[in-house]
Amino acid sequence: MIQCLNINKIYKTANLETQVLKNVSFTINEGEFVAITGPSGSGKSTLMHILGALDSPTSGQYLLGGEDVSQLSEDKLAHIRKNKIGFVFQAFNLLPRTTVLRNVMLPLIYANIPENERLEKAKKALLAAGLDEDRWLNLSNQISGGQMQRVAIARALVNDPSLILADEPTGNLDTKTGEIVLATFSRLNKEKGHTIILITHDQEIAQHADRIITIRDGNILEDNTLSS
């Protein structure tokens, strides 16, 4: 599904050139659950932005589903973000005075999906994310942090993306609630076959994935498949 081939990323200012990624290469197959981890400043956030079509490499190729994303226009990158990638962020990014159900439907509203269809898709996504039906009509600021993150997961699922990209998804949660959210990702991967990339600085959290790619100083340090 994903091929990164000699990805380099260089940021330039008037007096300074900083290479953040250095010839990064790896492949992620469809249906994998992969954690990308490393300390602050390692380059993992820059890599996440490239994988999410939020930024482009300075050189090298990024292929998603066989399509070379590296050199696409901003309009085409936006199309990929809307249709092929589901994002889950640390900060949830929900509309606070909007119901859970409508928060999940928003990507479908922007995509001009008919009302009946988007309602059914949103319900299906919420069930897949494991949020109880008695919370669906609550405003998003009337539910717990863990429930909010499951709403965010449902919103990421609702367009049936080929890739779910989760950036520090447990960063604002306590340990117990974080474990529930991570278990949701594992279930979506194992039972539903979703391809998931988890970005985290925490090695313990990374252990929930089936494979860990460790990045340091812009280089791939390790790429390990975990025993089941």
User: Could you read off the pLDDT of 100-155 as tens digits, one per residue?
Assistant: 999 999 999 888 889 889 999 999 999 999 999 999 999 999 999 999 999 999 99
Both tokens assigned to 182: 């991570």
Confidence grade of residue 72 (pLDDT, cut at 50, 70, 90) = confident
Q: What is the pTM of this model?
A: 0.92
The chain-wide mean pLDDT, for the chain, equals 93
Query: What integer is the mean pLDDT of 84-93?
Result: 91
On whether the CB atoms of residues 186 and 193 are closer than 8 A, the answer is: no
Sign, CA dihedral 183-186-190-193, equals: positive
CATH of 1-84+202-228, one of 3.40.50.300, 3.30.1490.20, 1.10.3720.10, 3.60.21.10: 3.40.50.300
Domain ranges (residues) in the chain:
1-84+202-228
Alpha-carbon distance of 62 to 49, in angstroms, equals 12
Alpha-carbon distance of 13 to 182, in angstroms, equals 39
Both tokens assigned to 163: 């890739």
